[in-house]
Homo-oligomer: A and B are copies of this chain.
Amino acid sequence: MLKMTKQRTLLLDYLKKSTKPLSAEMVYLKLPQGSMNLSTIYRSLEAFEVAGLVDKTNLGNLAYYKIRSHEHKHYLVCKNCHKMIEIDCHVDSFLEVETKKHHFKVESHDLTVYGYCEKCQTLA
């Protein structure tokens, strides 16, 4: 039944404004201080995920959340500055073949590319 509280509205609005996945703590630090407890953020994000409003993805040891959108994207993640560059998803075609072989019912997938962005290549 997902009740819409002051906090959840705040959180959802903030997520909507972001094009990139955000961790719970990133959101926590950006919201007006005292407006929402960190554990409430975790609980709400989880509720949103169950409700299909947001997608969760794990990068390294952190969970990131992003408003669910029609187009499925992936990210190039810079190992130096942690910048995330969005790229289009092109894996469905070959995935279909591979998963059929194993009679696997796909629910979702994550593709993350690690490396160095243009700026950090020269430095690192």
- Residues on A facing B (Cβ under 8 Å): 58-61, 63, 76, 78-79, 85, 87-88, 90-91, 94-95, 98-99, 101-118, 121
Contacts and interface: CB of A to CB of B under 8 A. Distances in A.
Q: Which of A59, A60, A61, A102 has the most CB of B within 10 A?
A: A102
A107 B114 CA distance: 6
Contacts of A113: 95, 99, 104, 106, 108-109
Contact of A79 (B91, B99, B107, B121): B107
Number of chain copies forming the complex: 2
A102 B79 CA distance: 15
A110 B110 contact: yes
Contact of A115 (B87, B90, B107, B115): B107
B115 A103 contact: no
A34 to B, nearest CB: 28
B110 A111 contact: yes
Given A58-B59, A60-B58, A121-B105, A99 B115 contact: yes
